[in-house]
Structure 1
């Protein structure tokens, strides 16, 4: 069975409840997102998570949280538990984004605990990995990314791997002033990740998405690479028409479509 191509976005710390509702209304009747060759997803801030889950509940679009704690409950002021994420109706939880690693001191070991907790609650962890510009310049890009992947998945049983997503997001490519990876560089790293990671119990590779300044101009070239299983989009998809435009171009570029 051919796996769908993943297309999604994280809104980061953006959008009021009204803006989130308008975005969801634009996606709700989009026939493109009902194409079985695509799997769309949206990751809003926590303030809008429940509302977005409700607004998109009768569509194929999955909804995710941007982070969570590993504990189900407790004295962790300001944190959100995996049970709470699931209670909102979310399907996915984004873990290990470079902004969390750098600004909030998240370690590989902490991300591993979160991955296990997410899987225990039936959530699909979207594990973000990527090297800095300095690590790339020193020739340690693949070592860094593979280390992040292996520690994040340490102790995860093989039967749970079919619910895991990996997002390769080179740190130097992220943000308003990021430099998008070339298709050649992205393809090379995706192949290294696939070679290093275990397969699912059915022998399938884990889906590895590319993120890092994905836009309407480079999405087709990236999507055309068979080793890239999806696109995780930032600001280019913060308007619904941006997400749909990229989804359309990426689907048209996929091998065999």
Structure 2
């Protein structure tokens, strides 16, 4: 049975005290979750070590918001896969629309980071999404599937299930974002899954984890998790508060008892 993933990226928020307070508040709850529920958190890089040390790595996965594709070298300001692992990280977020728009992330560099992460036993979490203009033009599926295919270029079949894809429509992200309806999100996830089946066959495609992110909140999380091709949610500000994240875990946990 595939795990249900519930995670959050803090982006450039929190300090060491608030990071530790969040971890301390969440810790008692995650130890009682259904074993098929996979919580994860992606703090800013300075706090990966302290947050990861607060949790049992077999229960809570901790990740990095970005990573260089090189192991070392003259890459000022970058973080290597080895550094992520050394700090206790096991997941690497890559390709987020903010990094694409503000820091020059491209489909090609995302692919390079996917390969680097897999070489070092890290889980690539690849963010893909369509813009508001692409949605209006009716080319959302083409735009998203292009990103998926390039991210996975030349990844060996046996490593394909290790890659997580997070569909995050750009028009749904942020404080002013409009969340995709469960039906809209499922439609895109179905299209991604179908493209993966064409590339790798049903078994490998169905083994891949597909997440939805984009203004996920306590009101829409349950319906999103009920969709057949959505294997979890990647949450922003709703989960930055420990109580919000714990409530999301409770919602997800209830799916195993119903």
- What TM-score do you get using the length of structure 1 for normalisation? 0.95
Worse-superposed segment, 64-73 or 201-210: 201-210
Contact 1:28 1:59 in 2 (8 A): no
Q: How does 1:85-100 map to 2 (within 5 A)?
A: 85-100=84-99
Q: Look up the match of 1:212.
A: 214
Q: Look up the match of 1:165.
A: 164
SS in 2 for 1:30: helix
Alpha-carbon distance in 2 for matches of 1:200, 1:75: 40
SS in 2 for 1:122: coil
- Paired residues in the alignment total 255
Q: Look up the match of 1:235.
A: 237
Q: How does 1:68-147 map to 2 (within 5 A)?
A: 68-147=67-146
Contact 1:32 1:244 in 2 (8 A): no
Contact 1:115 1:153 in 2 (8 A): yes
- Following superposition, the deviation at residue 201 of structure 1 comes to 9.8
Alpha-carbon distance in 2 for matches of 1:69, 1:166: 19
Contact 1:209 1:228 in 2 (8 A): yes
Contact 1:199 1:205 in 2 (8 A): no
- Following superposition, the deviation at residue 200 of structure 1 comes to 7.9
Per-residue Cα deviation, 1:62-105 (whole angstroms, up to 9, x for no partner): 00000011000000111101111111111100000000000111
- Following superposition, the deviation at residue 33 of structure 1 comes to 5.5
Alpha-carbon distance in 2 for matches of 1:22, 1:29: 12
Q: Look up the match of 2:189.
A: 190
Alpha-carbon distance in 2 for matches of 1:173, 1:48: 27
Alpha-carbon distance in 2 for matches of 1:76, 1:243: 35
Unaligned stretches of 5+ in structure 2? none
- CA RMSD, Structure 1 to Structure 2 (Å): 1.6
Per-residue Cα deviation, 1:189-230 (whole angstroms, up to 9, x for no partner): 000000001458953431100000000010111011121000
